[in-house]
């Protein structure tokens, strides 16, 4: 058990809809990272938050947004969903804002019908 | 552009048959190289961090090594429970971000 909790485990929705994925980091970790994993692309970095502030952006679409709350949990919001957004979405946390290992949750599987 | 390439894509071994997985990387400056294990339906599980060329880390049947261009994950006398996808990732220096750049993984199957 990594200590990182993601909910829900599965989401099934339709094109054009909006969903929110939730992540609780390991106790004491200040950084939260979001990654997308698809069969052909592997794990792709989306966005990082450190202690409530956005720290870095990767290949995140404009239709996607995230935030980190004062209690350090994070939410990833996906809107105007398209078939191609179907993927596994992982959250990871680390103690620092830069180096060191990241610990991953078990992900949210998003299926767009 | 920072890049990570893993080979082979898939590897089938008999129980007890030792082998190595390769991770080659291109990065402007290396802050750290990470190995993860991922089981189906689960998130990546952290195995090792390597920071500088010549460094080695061991855990049970696994040993990770690092050179200036690549890393190897050696599996000695594997067991069926070692079957998983092994992911390599790098973290670059520069800036304040800590995001990982992942390879596509090596899927290892160990047959009894």
- Domains of chain B in start order, with CATH, are 3-111 (2.60.40.10)
CA dihedral defined by B22, B28, B32, B33, rounded to 10 degrees?
A: -10
pLDDT in tens, A43-95: 999 999 999 999 999 989 999 999 999 999 999 999 999 999 999 999 999 98
Average pLDDT over residues B14-37: 95
Task: Please state whether the peptide bond connecting residue B8 to the residue before it is cis, i.e. omega within 30 degrees of 0.
Answer: yes
B28 close contact with A: CB closer than 8 A: no
Q: Model confidence over B39-54: pLDDT tens digits?
A: 999 999 999 999 999 9
Mutation target to probe the B interface, by most B beta carbons within 10 A, among A29, A54, A56, A98 is: A98
Phi, psi torsion values for B87, nearest 5 degrees? -110, 140
CA A89/CA A106 separation, integer angstroms: 9
B97 touches chain A (CB under 8 A): yes
B90 has which bridge partners?
B33, B101
Inter-chain touch B96–A90, beta carbons under 8 Å: no
Burial of A92 by CB count in 10 Å (0-12 exposed, 13-18 middle, 19+ buried)? buried
* Residue from A26, A38, A42, A40 nearest A91 by CA: A26
Q: How far is B75 from chain A (nearest CA, A)?
A: 21
Whether A104 contacts chain B with CB within 8 A: yes
């Amino acid at each position: 058990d990594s200590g990182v909790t993601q909910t829900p485990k599965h989401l099934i929705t339709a094109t054009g809809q909006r969903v929110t994925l939730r992540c609780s980091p390991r106790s004491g970790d200040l950084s939260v990272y979001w990654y997308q994993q698809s069969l052909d692309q592997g794990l792709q970095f989306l966005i990082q938050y450190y202690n409530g502030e956005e720290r870095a952006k990767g290949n995140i679409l404009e239709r996607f947004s995230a935030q980190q709350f004062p209690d350090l949990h994070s939410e990833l919001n996906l809107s105007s969903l398209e078939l191609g957004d179907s993927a596994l979405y992982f959250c990871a946390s680390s103690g620092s804002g830069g180096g060191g290992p990241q610990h991953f949750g078990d992900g949210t599987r998003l299926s767009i019908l | 552009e920072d890049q990570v390439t893993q080979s082979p894509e898939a590897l089938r071994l008999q129980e007890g048959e030792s082998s190595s997985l390769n991770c080659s990387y291109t990065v402007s400056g290396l802050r750290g190289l990470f190995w993860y294990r991922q089981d189906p339906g689960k998130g990546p599980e952290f195995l090792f961090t390597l920071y500088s060329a010549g460094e080695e880390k061991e855990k049970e049947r696994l040993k990770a090594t690092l050179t200036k261009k690549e890393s190897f994950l050696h599996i000695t006398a594997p067991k069926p429970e070692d079957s998983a996808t092994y992911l390599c990732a790098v973290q670059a220096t520069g800036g304040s971000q800590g995001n990982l750049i992942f390879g596509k993984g090596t899927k290892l199957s160990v047959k009894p």
